[in-house]
Chains A and B, each alone.
Chain A
Amino acid sequence: MSTGPTGAAVAADLTGDRPADDAADDLDVAAVKADFPLLATTKHDRPLVFLDSAASSQKPRAVLEAMDHYYEHDHTNVHRAAYDLAERATSAMEGARGKVARFIGAGSAEEVVFTKNATEAINLVARSWGAANLSPGDAVVLTQLEHHANIVPWQQLAAERGLELRWVPLTDDARLDLTGLDQLLDGAKLLGVTAMSNVVGTLPDVRALADAAHAAGALVCVDGCQSVPHLPTSVADLDADFVAFSGHKMCGPTGVGVLWARRELLEEMPPFLGGGGMILDVRLDGFVPADVPHRFEAGTPPIAEIVGLGAAVEYLEALGMDRVRRHEVAMNAYALRTLTERFGEEITIHGPAEPAARGGVMSFEFRGIHPHDLSQVLDQHGVCVRPGHHCAKPLMRVLGVGATARASWYVYNEEADVDALADALAEAGRFFDF
């Protein structure tokens, strides 16, 4: 049914010693978990086993308190008043912009544009940069791993502009098949690529892709929605042109996302949404847009959410993104080993077999039980996994499935959560034993 590696294939890869990354996991998960109020809740009288952070992470108290503090002490509208309170609101927001810039290794805070989410950030690239720079017949290259957020905006633009969309295919273990890359990039204007698949965890080598794209004269738009929360990120090292991500998957609140872009690009780009906040001057016969990044932030921004995102990146920085990554690789190794040892051929785990070649997300097929039914039974055991196409229907078709069940981990997950998942899977197997 699936083209992913069989359970046996994964197990064979893991018969050696525990990978080095595994041994190096020094994240104090118990302490981290205590920072997340929601994780103290129970489901069916058991502690909640939350394995759906790839959809949205839980929030640490520090983020909730930062937002409360902002509303209790500093709130008014930003940027357009001289009184002290407005000063405080503006500096809370601009302070967060600086924190986000530092977190992703941006050259300056002005390269950080706040949006509603990653989806809006990518739409901004398509509608502003794309509309200004792409003409009929131009090619945009995307990969078959992409989330709909990095597909549909380009399809919309392609339909309007007569663009050609080309697709980087996948190997059997859902890595990018780069054998035809040069041809795909030949004459292309943009490469859109995820830095981490939200379904199978694949980690494309963004730096190498950016080098190839730039050599071919194309820019690179990175969907960092999964990678920025989970991997140490330096936009300079990636040598990307655009990077989009969402606050809510990285301990921050919903309602705020980020587009990072190189300053020279932003300065050349026309505004996306028009209105207040994004102008220098408006007359009856036209307007002068504001400087970057405010040019792209029309209307009242989600100030409290931006403040919350600032607190979230500080929280992650305090944990250390290298440590976060080591922990997730260790979790990958433990999950691959546990699930294949317990279920052998009954489970198929999609994506790369090597723990360090994956982000902390795992899609699997178990005994032919439909993912929707599987997650329903897991829910009865307090285990939250997500069934569905995960907004990656083209990838589902490559995998040869309609849907997958997906478990994903983050800083507050531990081996016991994987054990709970395995126990619940065994129960589901008994329930649907036919």
Chain B
Amino acid sequence: MKPQTKQKIAFTCLGLAAVVVIIPVIVIFVILIDKGISAINWQFLSTMPRMGMRAGGIYPAIMGTVYLVSGTILVALPLGVLAAIYLVEYAKRNWWTRMIEIAIVNLAGVPSVVYGLFGMGFFVIFFKFGASILAGSLTLAIMILPVIITASKEALMSVPHSFREASLALGVSKWQTIRCVVLPNALPGILTGTILGISRAAGETAPILFTVAAFYLPRLPKSIFDQCMALPYHLYVLSTQVPNVKESLQYGTALVLVGMIFLLNLVAIIIRSHMRSKKQW
């Protein structure tokens, strides 16, 4: 075979692979919009479910997901960034650091249902938080910590060493150097990673199943010790646990969930491209 022919075949295969990747994305969106858009209106987004979830809106599920996501950010972002700073800026290259890094890699590979069980055992039962927004947020936070730590580490490491040297050589302490030079330059990368982690947390069912999610709770939670509804679990309930639900209701809920995650990812993409256009070192 001529090299040119070989190359052509290779290019075609690569192109096909790329197409195969985007087909499911397009199909999912088309189906969701086709079957779900009719359910979506202001009332659907802003009212409580009625008649055993067969009618009415999904307001508490949307708000529940917002609360859970906020709680998760509040816990996971500072913890993850501090851990990354420690690992990149302070930790010596020794077996202890290796152990921590291996633990992080392994945490990233743990199935989400295991996080759910861990959260139930640890936060719900051991710490007696009960099934609550607090327990759910903590569980989700632990699940996405590896993502945030890894992204933050990469963002910190991509800040040129020469910036640190320049700052230290001006008689600036290490911590001030990290705060005033390293962190501001790493922030876009950290935020991008955080948002991607968060968008994963927003869509997961298993970790919230035993730790916070309410089957049917047509009111908003009053404190972080209350249970709440959440979009992914509500979708699961509508699809499998409640008979005779209108299809458009199920697809409408899915569309809202996917739309929220899509928006989060879009923010991450915008931050990243903005950062790339500004970055000049």
Chain B binds chain A:
no
